[in-house]
Structure 1
Amino acid sequence: MERKSQNRTRIVGIRLTDAEFNTLEQRWRESTNRKISDYLRSVLLSKPIIKSFRNKSIDESMIMLIQLRNELNAIGVNLNQAVKKLHTFPPHADLKAWMLNQQLQNKILSNKLVEIKTLIQKMGEAWLL
């Protein structure tokens, strides 16, 4: 039993005006297709097109959450490095500077957690609308 190749080898080229292309691009962005070629293939072959509704306020919240996640990750790395350094201190070393640094890191972490809680609250309220 021989299988036919599913590779797309045929190319169809068309020319569009700027207005036509802008309309096409807008409709593609409203769909769930990740690539414009997939969207065009669906349109040309009369396949169903799934449109998605995007809540811009949630998109903005997600961008902020991603930034917060990255900051929390950096804080976690710093905390891990500080604890490793603590284990290398001689028994009689002055730990005052290390403890001050840890207090500062804890304050930063606490502030970031408050920001995350606020964003999660806002996202929850947006979903309930």
Structure 2
Amino acid sequence: MRKGQTKGEDGLQHLVWTRVNQSKYNEIERLIAGTKNETISSIVRKIIYKNPIKVYIHDESMDLLLEELAVIRGEIKAIGVNINQLAKLFNTYPEEQKKAFYAKIGYQEYLRLESKIDRTLLIISKLGKKWLSE
């Protein structure tokens, strides 16, 4: 069986030929460029049956923000690992001086984490404005 061909009554049994002008052809080509794995026949079929056509848009202006978010995620994970290690050391030693030392280092790590979270929220608000305005 060929691609797109189905069995039974719902199968694509009839061939329809048509011609369109250059502007309509260009419009169909633009639709195909924005979809994944679609052909001219499948796009025209979806238009005839009034089915939705999913068009995927890649906004290159968001690449830097998303890349920065990925970097920040890695940094936050590393800080979290450090804080977990400090908490283990804090709970291991009963001496007050050692507890105070590890608590101080843990607080410094928390301050580093706070700046990363603030930057993350700023980036997310930019993305929200961009995505929700359209």
TM over 0.5: yes
The partner residue of 1:96 within 100, 106, 109 is 100
The Cα shift of 1:72 comes to 0.8
- Report the Cα distance in structure 2 between the residues aligned to 1:106 and 1:92, rounded to whole angstroms: 20
- Report the Cα distance in structure 1 between the residues aligned to 2:35 and 2:82, rounded to whole angstroms: 39
Change (3 A) 1:79 1:51: same
Whether the 8 Å contact between 2:34 and 2:56 is mirrored in structure 1 is yes
Whether the 8 Å contact between 2:90 and 2:103 is mirrored in structure 1 is no
**For residues 8-50 of structure 1, what are the alpha-carbon distances to aligned partners after superposition, in whole Å with 9 as ceiling and x for unaligned?**
xxxxxxxxxxxxxxxxxxx9xx5555xxxxx6xx66x965596
Matched, 1:70 2:74: yes
Partner of 1:114: 118
- Which is further off, 54-63 or 100-109? 54-63
Task: State the TM-score, normalizing by the size of structure 1.
Answer: 0.58
Aligned positions, number: 96
The Cα shift of 1:115 comes to 0.2
Partner of 1:59: 63
The partner residue of 1:125 within 122, 129, 133 is 129
Whether the 8 Å contact between 1:58 and 1:126 is mirrored in structure 2 is no
- Report the Cα distance in structure 2 between the residues aligned to 1:81 and 1:99, rounded to whole angstroms: 11
Task: State the TM-score, normalizing by the size of structure 2.
Answer: 0.57
Q: Which has the larger radius of gyration?
A: 2
Please list every run of 5 or more consecutive structure 2 residues that lacks an aligned counterpart in the other structure: 1-29, 44-52
Partner of 2:17: none
Which one-letter code corresponds to 1:81 in the other structure? Answer: Q
**Superposed CA RMSD:** 3.0
Partner of 2:84: 80
Larger RCO of the pair (alpha carbons < 8 Å, separation 6+): 1
**Matched position secondary structure for 1:94:** helix
